[in-house]
Amino acid sequence: MKNDIRTKLLKEGKIIPISFNYHFVRIFGDESNMDIIEYFISDYYKLPINEVVGNIKILSRDLKQDSKNEKSKQVDLLLKLKNKKINIEISNTSSIGRKERDLVYLSKIHGQQLKYKQKYSSIGYSWQIRLNDTPCNKGKVRKIYYLKSDDDIYSYKFRIDNIDLEAAEKIVYNEDDEKLIRWCRILHASTRDEIVHELGDGLMDKKSREKLLEEVERNSRDEELYDIHEMYSTEKMERDAELEEALEAKTKEVTEKVTDEVTKKVTSDVTKKVKKQSQIDMAKKMLNKGMEVDDISDITGLSTDQIEEISF
């Protein structure tokens, strides 16, 4: 039955978006797709492709633990390009905890560049690209953050790029940001035709374009990936629908009885309550599926402590 559903969706041209965390890691974390990774990094940082080809290495996703008591940490993707370590993180939720986690991870990546008897000045660059599936930059596609004082950059070696994939769908790009916008739309696409349109003829060579399309179609057929994506999508839709219904019911009930200030407070309370319960229900289902606590935290927005409490 599931195979029939997946086949039907593929015939209709629908795919699992590459921006879905697990899908992105499967493609960009695979050495055999290095040509696709090289094109992405070249276009993203506006580097000549000949400076990138053959110079990127995929590093372990597991960050070194400083003590036995420290929790294990795993990033979505970690690359090395000459003297730069590039961490790419996918965020399918607007969780504040996820932002804090990514900051900790990048700090750890930067600190671990220092080797025994090495001078601090020789430490390379640690850059992070945060690809967000939810609005985050107030309409801007990319915001770049450095360590800085009131009026000056403290260091260019530590950098975080916040990318709003949704914003890329709504703007008309110019020559300067064309390739970035096209990549954002490819990552966020929900149909094969959308990817084909954005790839065009100039984003990658023919062989790499065809390989990317084959990878997307193959992964969209994969039962495990399909199930995880459906679970996430269904829970998200149910959570949004429950939240909307609860808000409408409560708003109608109190509109004629209370002031605007009280209305806002009640609406906010209901929103938080419905959202929290939906997150808990979703986490329980994922725990039953045997998914990792960090992955559940990423998708639901709950903290790891909250998820571990649910599991008992």
Are 47 and 41 spatial neighbours (Cβ–Cβ below 8 Å)? Answer: yes
Return d(Cα 309, Cα 312) in angstroms, integer: 6
Are 37 and 80 spatial neighbours (Cβ–Cβ below 8 Å)? Answer: no
Listed range (1-5, 28-32, 189-193, 236-240) with the worst mean pLDDT: 236-240
Does pLDDT of 140 surpass 80?
A: yes
Q: What is the mean pLDDT of residues 54-80?
A: 81
Structure tokens at 50: 């000949």
136 confidence band (pLDDT: 50, 70, 90): confident
Are 308 and 293 spatial neighbours (Cβ–Cβ below 8 Å)? Answer: yes
Are 270 and 246 spatial neighbours (Cβ–Cβ below 8 Å)? Answer: yes
Does pLDDT of 141 surpass 90?
A: yes
Q: What is the mean pLDDT of residues 180-205?
A: 94
pLDDT tens track for 249-268: 666 665 555 555 555 655 56
Q: Higher confidence at residue 263 or residue 209?
A: 209
299 confidence band (pLDDT: 50, 70, 90): confident
pLDDT of amino acid 170: 87
pLDDT of amino acid 247: 58
Long-range contact set of residues 193-201: C-beta below 8 Å, sequence gap at least 24: 193/13, 195/15
pLDDT of amino acid 234: 59
pLDDT of amino acid 176: 82
What type of residue sits at position 133?
D
What is the value of pTM for the model shown? 0.74
Are 215 and 18 spatial neighbours (Cβ–Cβ below 8 Å)? Answer: no
